[in-house]
Amino acid sequence: MPRLSYRRALTRALADEMTRDESVVVLGEDIRVAAANVTTGLLKKFGPERVRDTPLSEQAFTSFATGAALAGARPVVEFQIPSLLFLVFEQIVNHAHKFPLMTGGQCAVPVTYLVPGSGSRTGWAGQHSDHPYALFAHVGVTTVVPATPADAYGLLVSAIRCDDPVVVFAPAGALDLREDVAEPAPVPLGRGVVRRSGDDVTVVAVGHLVHDALAVAEELSGQASVEVFDPRTLYPFDFDGLVDSVRRTGRLVVVDDGNRSCGIAGEIIATVVERVRLAAPPRRVTRPDGAVLPFAPALDRAVQPGRDQLTAAIQLTLKDG
Amino acid sequence: MTGPDPVWLYRTVRLIRRFEERAIELVDAGEIVGGIHPYLGQEGIAAGVCAALAADDLVTGTHRGHGHVLAKGADPARMLAELCGRVTGLNRGRGGSMHAADFGVGVLGANAIVGAAGAILTGAVWERRRRGADVVGATFFGDGAVNEGMLLEAFNLAALWQVPVLFVCENNGYATTMPVAGAVAGTVAGRAAAFGMPSTAVDGQDPERVREASAAAVARMRAGGGPELIEAHTYRFDAHHTFEHRVRLDYRPPEEVAEGRSRDPVDIQGARLDPAVRAEVDASVEAVLDAAVDFALAGPHPDPATALDHLYASGLTARTGGG
């Protein structure tokens, strides 16, 4: 079975969609030379009209993509740095996202914002290490965080085909993964998946943390049966799928590489407890409130959710109630 | 639109003038909530620019955008219904004054964020041309927008990629209450020059002069030229927003207002017509607007149960906010 790397999964998704649909164009900084190692080979194959290297003008090229989408294109905009999304939050939220409603349904804005390397890359410090997916879930922009190469392919394809704006966070912590994939296929937006079945507690893990959760579940397998749920899409969230899991296990822990206050973990827990009577108080493992990742590697790691914290949270939840 | 047709220009400035006056009456009557940013005094710019555009050319406007939408060809009745928040409005009552859009006539929306629409229009024109359509675009903005970074980024992108967009600066002297002298270092034309973009200054109170300058720029753009800028000097006859009708803000000396109002685009263009023709146009505009008011006020209010309609084009359903 062919090995597929996470980055090449993204490359292949872009190439396949550009081949299938002339309206797909890619915009971004340094994409002609694939500085983020994702747009590799696209310029040669599709030419500079559809693979447009941009000046460092994030606000302009993000809204340029909105306009192109209003005129029929399906642009993919690559951002090398997750915090550039702060710079273009206005363009995505106030324009791309609002146009369909504000115009009374006269238009669609099918733009994909791709961040290959979100979260910490170790050593990139305060302004290059954010993981702001919860902001987009909050404003109601479709937000996906693929954990595996197969999902990276499948969710990016679905994002490009979606008639609304979609932000695709490809966590830096997952970019080096490889897996055997027979035939990459689209993965539906808004559908989670149980990565490991268990009976005692449901752990929701976002993005690269799915792999930490699976490792912790394995370590704890002598003591407890841990189910790992990968939501894959954070907005719209597959609450039905998660509730099915939590109804069986009765316990919930969320591990999320976002800040604690108003983070996605808080939303997940709130919605589950609205629908399910849990056997024990739920727990969450997140970045701290207001996290700014410090430069030194030990500090950088200290601010991110760790396996020890997740293990402790699971054990506390199992002990309670 | 039409060619150099003085009657069309007059009809358009008169239509916008009377539309705005009727809209202000509806604000006062409580039929338009939230107020409006009247375009009174600036009508010659929308009319003159749109006279130089073809039906499938694209336009984006501003929070002071009624004139742009009307001059590009939107139905005044559906426009007024939109201002009144009715389902019969251009945007089904979802946009209102500051977001009125009519994609069917190439209006990709008034846009309420200052300086934001230039890049959107640049992308739209680029994509239409990539698909083989020989279209150009015009994006309107005020003097306040020339200090917005995203507009200057759009200048750069359009000039760099030679996208034929006419950047139309409606310099009415004030960004809300801030005079140009207090806000703009350098000049508007200097900003165009910095990006290698030709610019033309024009008397925005004279619809013919605006049309001439726009037609010349559009002809150069259709012949393969890149974006251009027009700086139309104008004067806003009324308030920044109708809230000023209730809360008096002291920022324009009365003599200045009187002088500004003395050069009225409706009168300047009207004087070029035979008085009988002018009277005929006036009567027909009045009839159109009488019918528009009737249409707007007869339109149903939207059902609150439909408040989330059109939020997503993909068919995604949002969770509601109730318990």
- Domain contains B225: yes
A197/A54 same-domain check:
no
Euclidean distance between CA atoms B270 and B274, whole angstroms: 8
Q: How far is A40 from chain B (nearest CA, A)?
A: 23
A158/A278 same-domain check:
no
Residues of B in contact with A108 (CB under 8 A): 313-314
DSSP conformation class of A236: T
Residues of A in contact with B97 (CB under 8 A): none
Q: Are B35 and B25 in contact (CB under 8 A)?
A: no
- Domain contains B112: yes
Instruction: Establish if B145 touches chain A: CB-CB under 8 angstroms.
Output: no
Residues of B in contact with A63 (CB under 8 A): 116, 119-120, 123, 150, 154
Range of the domain at A289: 193-319
Percentage of chain B beyond pLDDT 90 is: 98
CA A33 from chain centre, in angstroms, equals: 24
Chain B interface test: which of A26, A49, A106 (most B C-beta within 10 Å): A106
Euclidean distance between CA atoms B102 and B225, whole angstroms: 27
Count chain A–chain B contacts defined by CB atoms under 8 A. 151
- The answer on pLDDT for B173 being more than 90 is yes
User: Which residue from A118, A123, A151 is spatially nearest to A135, judged by alpha carbons?
Assistant: A118
Q: Are B90 and B74 in contact (CB under 8 A)?
A: yes
Q: Point out the residue among B121, B125, B312 whose CB comes nearest to the CB of A100.
A: B312
User: Which residue from A62, A90, A40, A225 is spatially nearest to B120, judged by alpha carbons?
Assistant: A62
Q: How far is B97 from chain A (nearest CA, A)?
A: 11
Whether B120 sits inside 8 A of A70 (CB atoms) is yes
pLDDT digits (tens, 9 = 90+) for B23-71: 999 999 999 999 999 999 999 999 999 999 999 999 999 999 999 999 9
Token duo for residue A106: 């006269």
Instruction: Establish if B74 touches chain A: CB-CB under 8 angstroms.
Output: no
Q: Which residues of chain A have pLDDT under 50?
A: none
According to DSSP, the residues that pair with B137 across neighbouring strands are B58, B165
A158/A104 same-domain check:
yes
- Predicted confidence at residue B52, as pLDDT, reads 98
Instruction: Establish if B153 touches chain A: CB-CB under 8 angstroms.
Output: yes
Burial (Cβ within 10 Å: 0-12, 13-18, ≥19) of residue A196: middle
* Intra-chain end-to-end CA distance of chain A, in Å: 46
- Domain contains B140: yes
Up-side HSE of residue A314: CA atoms within 13 Å toward CB? Answer: 32
Q: Point out the residue among A73, A106, A163 whose CB comes nearest to the CB of B314.
A: A163
Look at residue A73 and give its three-state secondary structure.
Answer: coil
Is the CA virtual torsion B244, B248, B252, B258 positive or negative? positive
Summarize the confidence of residues B125-143 as an average pLDDT: 97
DSSP conformation class of A221: G
Range of the domain at B289: 6-306
Residues of A in contact with B126 (CB under 8 A): 64, 67-68, 71
Token duo for residue A13: 């998704």
Cis peptide before A236 (omega within 30 of 0): yes
A211/A176 same-domain check:
no
Q: Give the CATH number, domain containing residue B64.
A: 3.40.50.970
Q: Point out the residue among A60, A110, A140 whose CB comes nearest to the CB of B119.
A: A60
Distances (CA, A) of B46 to B35, B73, B152, B207: 21, 11, 22, 8
A150/A272 same-domain check:
no
- Domain contains B1: no
Whether A105 sits inside 8 A of B131 (CB atoms) is no
Chain B interface test: which of A46, A97, A103, A272 (most B C-beta within 10 Å): A103
Domains identified in chain B, total number: 1
Whether B120 sits inside 8 A of A67 (CB atoms) is yes
Amino acid found at A234: L
Whether A68 sits inside 8 A of B126 (CB atoms) is yes
Q: Are A230 and A203 in contact (CB under 8 A)?
A: no
Look at residue A115 and give its three-state secondary structure.
Answer: strand
pLDDT digits (tens, 9 = 90+) for A91-114: 999 999 999 999 999 999 999 999
A16/A127 same-domain check:
yes
Whether B153 sits inside 8 A of A140 (CB atoms) is no
Q: Report residue B4's pLDDT band, with 50, 70 and 90 as the boundaries.
A: low
A109/A141 same-domain check:
yes
User: Which residue from A122, A120, A123, A32 is spatially nearest to A83, judged by alpha carbons?
Assistant: A120
φ, ψ (nearest 5 deg) of residue B175: -100, 100
Distances (CA, A) of B198 to A256, B45, B204, B222, B233: 52, 18, 18, 15, 17
Angle at B123 between CA A136 and CA B224, to 5 degrees: 170
A129/A27 same-domain check:
yes
Residues of B in contact with A55 (CB under 8 A): 156-157, 160
Distances (CA, A) of B90 to A43, A203, B47, B61: 41, 48, 20, 15
- The answer on pLDDT for B235 being more than 80 is yes
Euclidean distance between CA atoms A242 and A191, whole angstroms: 10
Look at residue A167 and give its three-state secondary structure.
Answer: strand
Q: Give the CATH number, domain containing residue A204.
A: 3.40.50.920
ipTM score assigned to the predicted complex: 0.96
Q: Point out the residue among A63, A91, A102 whose CB comes nearest to the CB of B91.
A: A102
Residues 6+ apart with CB under 8 A from A13: A152, A153, A154, A156, A157, A160, A184
Token duo for residue B153: 């980024």
Q: Point out the residue among B95, B312, B315 whose CB comes nearest to the CB of A103.
A: B95
- The answer on pLDDT for B3 being more than 60 is no
Q: How far is B4 from chain A (nearest CA, A)?
A: 29
Q: Give the CATH number, domain containing residue A81.
A: 3.40.50.970
- Domain contains A187: no
Residues of A in contact with B93 (CB under 8 A): 104
- Domain contains A188: no
A237/A95 same-domain check:
no
φ, ψ (nearest 5 deg) of residue B22: -70, -40
- Domain contains A82: yes
Distances (CA, A) of A20 to A46, A73, A241, B158: 12, 13, 31, 28
pLDDT digits (tens, 9 = 90+) for B264-300: 999 999 999 999 999 999 999 999 999 999 999 999 9
Look at residue B307 and give its three-state secondary structure.
Answer: coil
Residue in chain A closest to B315 (alpha carbons) equals A163
- Domain contains B79: yes
A14/A117 same-domain check:
yes
Instruction: Establish if B233 touches chain A: CB-CB under 8 angstroms.
Output: no
Point out the residues of A that are catalytic.
128
Q: Are B49 and B166 in contact (CB under 8 A)?
A: yes
Domains identified in chain A, total number: 2
Residues of B in contact with A94 (CB under 8 A): 113, 116
Q: Report residue B1's pLDDT band, with 50, 70 and 90 as the boundaries.
A: very low
pLDDT digits (tens, 9 = 90+) for B62-112: 999 999 999 999 999 999 999 999 999 999 999 999 999 999 999 999 999
Whether B103 sits inside 8 A of A59 (CB atoms) is no
Measured CB to CB, residues of chain A less than 8 Å from chain B are 25, 49, 54-55, 57, 59-73, 75, 90-91, 94-95, 99-110, 140, 142, 162-164, 190, 236
